[in-house]
Amino acid sequence: MATNVEVFTRKIVSENPATGEQLYEFDCASDDEVWTAVERAKLAQPGWNAIGVEKRVTYLKKFQSLLLDRKKDISEAITREAGKPYAEALLTEVLVVLDTTRFLIDTAYGFLRDQPVPHGNLAMKAKRGWIVREPHGVIGIIAPWNYPFSTPAAETLSALVTGNTVVLKPSEFTPGIGLELERLLREAGIPRDAFQVVVGDGRTGAALVESAVDKIVFTGSVATGKKVAQSAGARLIPVVLELGGKDPMLVLEDVDLDVASSAAVWGAFMNAGQTCLSVERCYVHRSIYPKFVEACVEKARKLHVGNGMDPEIEVGPMIHERQLRVVEEHVEDARAQGARVLVGGARLPEKGRNFYAPTVIADVTHDMKLMREETFGPVLPIAAFETEDEAVQLANDSEFGLAASVWTRNRKRGEEIARRINAGTVMVNDVLSCFGISEAPHGGSKASGIGRTHGRLGMEEMVRIKYMDSDLMPGMKKVWWYGYGEAFARQMEGFVDLLFTRSLMTKLRSGLKAAGVVKRKGQL
Ligand code: NAD
């Protein structure tokens, strides 16, 4: 049972960030409700696992076809609650989930097949071993608002297909999308207790971490991630933490300026800059710096800002006032320290209360918050570099390590630089799209998190590894068991030499010395 007594019912209200229209109001799930959901998920898990992967894959296929049919409705619901333009909702959320489902359908069976472990230890030759992948049990998933559908859906499907049951806590800003996911999964035939949603705020999330879940997959800010890790640490349950980023983009002197500047603008302003993989720092070779900055400014000016339901709109609102204030604080701090705000740099109240203009800022330095803390808004800060070494040093000078990109026409050079950057993903000549490759692992180093989602490595997070060993000679005592003595010690010396000496003569001599062990006397 939960230990904390709740006196008041807490409420969450979700709004359309473009219009302020109230969409949903929910009571936060109480600690007891969270615990009950987890208990139910625990009871349901053995049965869900027992139906086998082929059957679970059939549910995924049904889910995929339902999602395909409803792609428009789901994308619109995402735009309404999270604000991103409809095209982005379709491509970065619905399409990502359809493709993740395809990946899981294609690979789950092979992934869960026992994996033989051939070995080279002569003494153990009478043994066969293999790795068995077993579900953890109940996976608690805590999701953010910025990818309210693709993030929890990809994690949920990976957890379910590997035999876990799931309790999801969506963000308090996008509970409606979490419930859309629940509706789709239910309709696909997933049993009620195999996937449950508990709506609520941070406290509801904390209750989930403190409940009887067997693993937590958390996506959100570094500050919350640390709390989740501490709480999970107290129960010694494993966690995956997908946290923030401050992704650098390195633009070398030989790039196609038009292509690279378009990438910088899209990478910085997509989802109004509220993407963990957003370009948050742009470093450009001094020789092309003025031209590159000019191209970005020109392109930023042309962007259509407004309600994402309008298909012409390219940049939607930010999620809420608190996020706007962070952006304002970073921009003002940079301005005060001498950076040049070339376009944007202010709210757009005429569009609605949550709009901030796409902003390009030149001559930024690492003394500014804009280059050190996650801004998470439509801001593209640009700085110049002189040498490749300096560019790499600047890219690595961050507490974050989620992703990065290197831009050059010389792919070999780009790939060499990519190896020197400390990040979970480094793309050469593209930004962000790695999230759309279902086979690619997603996750960061340093403060950007622990563990991976997506791809085979994401599936590995959903299982615990069991090594199984089967002895082929059950009627024989092992030679290394008790009954030691002088003769045994000499035989074992011979055996060790036999295994590892490089001299043929010594090998032969050692083999003879060791042979006596087979007819060992006095063994217990
Ligand atoms: P957040 O940390 O405020 O909230 C994330 C989730 O945690 C929400 O569901 C929230 O209710 C819950 N929560 C809050 N306090 C909690 C607690 N004490 N215990 C358990 N759960 C708690 O983050 P956010 O503002 O929703 O999301 C934005 C952040 O997420 C950004 O930093 C972004 O970079 C990051 N993010 C990372 C990835 C990634 O894959 N690395 C993806 C998307 C977003």
For residue 272, the one-letter residue type is: A
Burial (CB count <10 Å: 0-12, 13-18, 19+), residue 258: exposed
Question: What residue type is assigned to position 106 of the chain?
Answer: D
Phi, psi values for residue 2, rounded to 5°: -65, 150
Which of 17, 306, 14 has its CA nearest to residue 175? 14
Identity of the amino acid at 300: A
Ligand 1 site, residue 354, Cβ cutoff 6 A: no
Helices 504-515, 486-500: inter-axial angle, 10-degree rounding: 150
The kind and range of the H/E element at 361 are strand 359-362
| CA of residue 402 to ligand 1 center, whole Å | 15
Backbone φ and ψ for 74, nearest 5 degrees, come out as -65, -40
Give the single-character DSSP code of 286. Answer: G
Q: Is 169 in the pocket of ligand 1 (CB under 6 A)?
A: yes
Q: Tokens 């995929």 appear where?
A: 64
| CB 12 within 8 Å of CB 203 | no
Q: Which two tokens stand for residue 218?
A: 């958390």
Predicted local confidence at residue 6, as pLDDT: 56
> How far apart are alpha carbons 200 and 95 in whole angstroms?
27
Cβ proximity of 148 and 156 under 8 Å: no
Ligand 1 site, residue 362, Cβ cutoff 6 A: no
Residue 271 CA: distances (Å) to CA of 16, 40, 43, 249, 306: 15, 36, 39, 18, 12
Residue nearest to atom 10 of ligand 1 (CA): 202
Q: Which two tokens stand for residue 439?
A: 């086979």
Beta strand 445-446 with 400-401: parallel, antiparallel or unpaired? antiparallel
Q: Is 146 in the pocket of ligand 1 (CB under 6 A)?
A: yes
- Cα of 381 from ligand 1 centre, angstroms: 24
Distance of CA 275 to the CA centre of its chain: 12
CA angle (487, 489, 493) in 5-degree steps: 115
Active site residue 88: no
Distance from C-alpha of 462 to C-alpha of 460, rounded to nearest angstrom: 5
Q: Render the burial of 332-364: b for 16+ CB within 10 Å, e for the rest.
A: ebbeeeebebbbbbebbeebbbbbbbbbbbbbb
Judge if the beta carbon of residue 143 lies within 6 A of ligand 1. Answer: yes
Angle at which helix 71-82 crosses helix 53-69, to 10 degrees, equals 80
Q: What is the pLDDT of residue 1?
A: 45
Can you tell me the distance from the alpha carbon of 262 to that of 6, in angstroms, rounded to the nearest whole number? 51
Does any ligand 1 atom lie closer than 6 A to the CB of residue 425?
A: no
Q: Residue 42 and residue 65: Cα distance in Å, rounded?
A: 28
Annotated catalytic residue, options 93, 242, 314, 373: 242
- Cα–Cα dist 213/483, whole Å: 46
* Cβ of 245 less than 6 Å from ligand 1: yes
DSSP secondary structure code for residue 92 in this structure? I
pLDDT score, position 2: 47
- Distance (angstroms) between ligand 1 centre and the Cα of 460 equals 22
CB 132 within 8 A of CB 161: no
DSSP string, 470-498: EES-TTS--TTSS---HHHHHHHHHHHHH
What's the whole-model pTM score? 0.97
Distance 378 CA to ligand 1 centre (A): 19
Query: What is the chain's pLDDT, residue by residue, as a tens digit (524 residues)?
Result: 444 555 578 999 999 999 999 999 999 999 999 999 999 999 999 999 999 999 999 999 999 999 999 999 999 999 999 999 999 999 999 999 999 999 999 999 999 999 999 999 888 999 999 999 999 999 999 999 999 999 999 999 999 999 999 999 999 999 999 999 999 999 999 999 999 999 999 999 999 999 999 999 999 999 999 999 999 999 999 999 999 999 999 999 999 999 999 999 999 999 999 999 999 999 999 999 999 999 999 999 999 999 999 999 999 999 999 999 999 999 999 999 999 999 999 999 999 999 999 999 999 999 999 999 999 999 999 999 999 999 999 999 999 999 999 999 999 999 999 999 999 999 999 999 999 999 999 999 999 999 999 999 999 999 999 999 999 999 999 999 999 999 999 999 999 999 999 999 999 999 999 998 887 888 89
> Could you tell me the distance, in angstroms and rounded to a whole number, from the CA of residue 51 to the centre of ligand 1?
33
User: Got the DSSP string for 362-413?
Assistant: ES--TTSGGGTS---SSEEEEEEESSHHHHHHHHH-SSEESEEEEE-S-HHH
Which of 10, 13, 167, 171 for mutating ligand 1's site (highest number of atoms within 8 Å of CB)? 171
How many Å is the maximal CA-CA distance in the chain? 94
Residue type, position 439, single letter: E
CB 190 within 8 A of CB 66: no
Which tokens is 251 given? Answer: 């633009």
Give residue 94 CA to ligand 1 midpoint distance, Å: 20
Structure confidence at residue 517 (pLDDT): 85
Does the CB atom of residue 431 touch ligand 1 within 6 A?
no
- Taking the C-alpha atoms of residue 182 and residue 499, their distance in angstroms, rounded to an integer, is 58
Residues 419/254, Cβ–Cβ less than 8 Å: no
> Residue 77 C-alpha to ligand 1 middle, in angstroms?
20
Question: Which H or E run includes 42?
Answer: helix 31-50
| Inter-residue contact 147 to 245 (CB < 8 Å) | no
Whether 205 lines ligand 1, by a CB cut-off of 6 Å, is: yes
**b/e string for 467-488 if b means 16 or more Cβ within 10 A?**
eeeeeeeeeeeebeeeeeeeeb
Choice from 181, 221, 241, 432 to test ligand 1 binding pocket (greatest atom count within 8 A of CB): 221
Q: How far is Cα 320 from Cα 21, in angstroms, rounded to an integer?
A: 13
299 vs 437: CA distance, rounded Å: 27
Using alpha carbons, select from 184, 222, 154 the residue that is nearest to residue 74.
184
- 276 annotated active-site: yes
Query: For residue 305, how far is the Cα from the chain centroid?
Result: 29
**Coil/strand/helix, residue 196:** strand
Instruction: Give the pLDDT score at 5.
Output: 52
**How many C-alpha atoms does 241 have within 13 Å on its Cβ side?**
28
Of 276, 400, 434, the residue with max ligand 1 atoms within 8 A of its CB, to mutate for a pocket test, comes to 276
